[in-house]
Amino acid sequence: MDKSFQRSSLLVTFFSLFFIPVSISVPFIHLHGVNDQCSNAEARSFTQLLRNLSSSPGYCLEIGNGEQDSMSMPLMQQASIACEKVKQMKELSQGYNIVAQSQGNMVARGLIEFCDDAPPVLNYVSLGGPHAGISIIPKCPVGARHPFCQLQESEVYLDSSQDHIAPCGYIKLATEISEYMEHCKFLPKLNNERPNERNSTYKERFTSLQNLVLVMFEGDKIVVPKETCLFGFYPDGATTPLLPPQQTKLYTEDWIGLKTLDDAGKVKFVGVPGDHLEMAHDDVVKYVVPYLQNQLTFSS
């Protein structure tokens, strides 16, 4: 037997006798927003900033070809691709944290709720996520030519829109609420909104998070109402009054476990200054980084 091998097996024996605990930093994944991709300068530098500040390994998780698929691929499919990718990453197999931006939060929650046989998500930090839907079709940047930019309210719940325009999965129009409930293919399922289709597995999985940090941008003009980032929204079919998260049915009837998590002290509802995703460095340090510094401890 090789000497160094003997030595290392001796060491292993030694450590197992004394159950020396070994800690590792929990890795994180970063999920970018719509019309963005991991290779863009801003997304890259955000992943890197989080790695730098947390000293944890982190990966920007891309879905399909990036920008174009983020606009066009239905969110069910985006979540399912993310699910397969996460399961293939050995680095994540003991559990991981998520930081998601804007639409990336729909993918994040799809991962948490829908992904079978996946490693556990421990902490989840949501930045500007349209969790309860958006009530106004966002304006496209000047010059953008995606079909999304010509979308009319009356077309949002057609299959042709649902199947080819990702944001249609979470647009919730007061004037079309029965169409939304019946034909919107993503958010009603994600939020367990349909009374006859509630799936307790989604709730169990969401409830197993250790920490949920919901960040809203006070100056957000893209995600309307901005309070959706905290699960606040209007009553069905109305555009007023804006209900705080704790007064929505999703919360009071606990469709996905938000109330359970909140009662256990595991939810932070945070408002920060700035327009959509414009987060000050100090706020990143305060509200994101601490949730990326958890450790997993093993007895070896």
Q: Residue 255 and residue 236: Cα distance in Å, rounded?
A: 15
Q: Looking at 28-36, 42-50, 88-96, 172-180, which segment touches ligand NAG (CB under 6 A)?
A: 42-50
Task: Burial-class residue 211 by CB neighbours within 10 Å (0-12, 13-18, 19+).
Answer: middle
Judged by CB under 6 A, the chain residues 105 through 164 that form the site for ligand NAG are 114, 116
Instruction: Please report how close the Cβ of residue 48 comes to ligand NAG at its closest, in angstroms.
Output: 4
Instruction: Please report how close the Cβ of residue 82 comes to ligand NAG at its closest, in angstroms.
Output: 15
Q: Looking at 43-51, 99-107, 127-135, 181-189, which segment touches ligand NAG (CB under 6 A)?
A: 43-51
Provide the strand spans (E) within the chain: 21-25, 28-31, 58-60, 96-101, 121-127, 211-217, 267-272, 295-299
The residue count for binding ligand NAG (CB under 6 A) is 8
Neighbours of 287 (CB within 10 A): 18
The mark string for 257-286 relative to ligand NAG (x by CB under 6 A, - otherwise) is ------------------------------
Could you tell me the CA-to-CA distances from 25 to 28, 92, 122, 295 in Å, in that order? Answer: 9, 11, 12, 5
208: contact with ligand NAG by CB under 6 A: no
The mark string for 225-264 relative to ligand NAG (x by CB under 6 A, - otherwise) is ----------------------------------------
Q: Looking at 13-21, 48-56, 148-156, 180-188, which segment touches ligand NAG (CB under 6 A)?
A: 48-56
Instruction: Please report how close the Cβ of residue 50 comes to ligand NAG at its closest, in angstroms.
Output: 9
Among 52, 55, 68, 252, binds ligand NAG (CB under 6 A): 52
Among 6, 39, 45, 175, binds ligand NAG (CB under 6 A): 45
Coil, strand or helix at 199: coil
Q: Residue 32 and residue 127: Cα distance in Å, rounded?
A: 10
Count the helix, strand and coil residues of the chain and give each as a percent rounded to the nearest 5. Answer: 45, 15, 40
Nearer to ligand NAG, 6 or 52 (CB): 52
25: contact with ligand NAG by CB under 6 A: no
186: contact with ligand NAG by CB under 6 A: no
3-state secondary structure 227-268: HHHHCCECCCCCCCCCECHHHCHHHHCCCCCHHHHHHCCCEE
* 132 in Cβ contact with 190 (< 8 Å): no
Instruction: Please report how close the Cβ of residue 74 comes to ligand NAG at its closest, in angstroms.
Output: 17
* 99 in Cβ contact with 127 (< 8 Å): yes
Instruction: Please report how close the Cβ of residue 143 comes to ligand NAG at its closest, in angstroms.
Output: 28
201: contact with ligand NAG by CB under 6 A: yes
Among 25, 38, 40, 49, binds ligand NAG (CB under 6 A): 49
Structure tokens at 100: 């998601």
40: contact with ligand NAG by CB under 6 A: no
Q: Residue 65 and residue 40: Cα distance in Å, rounded?
A: 12
* Residues engaged in binding ligand NAG (CB under 6 A): 45, 48-49, 52, 114, 116, 199, 201
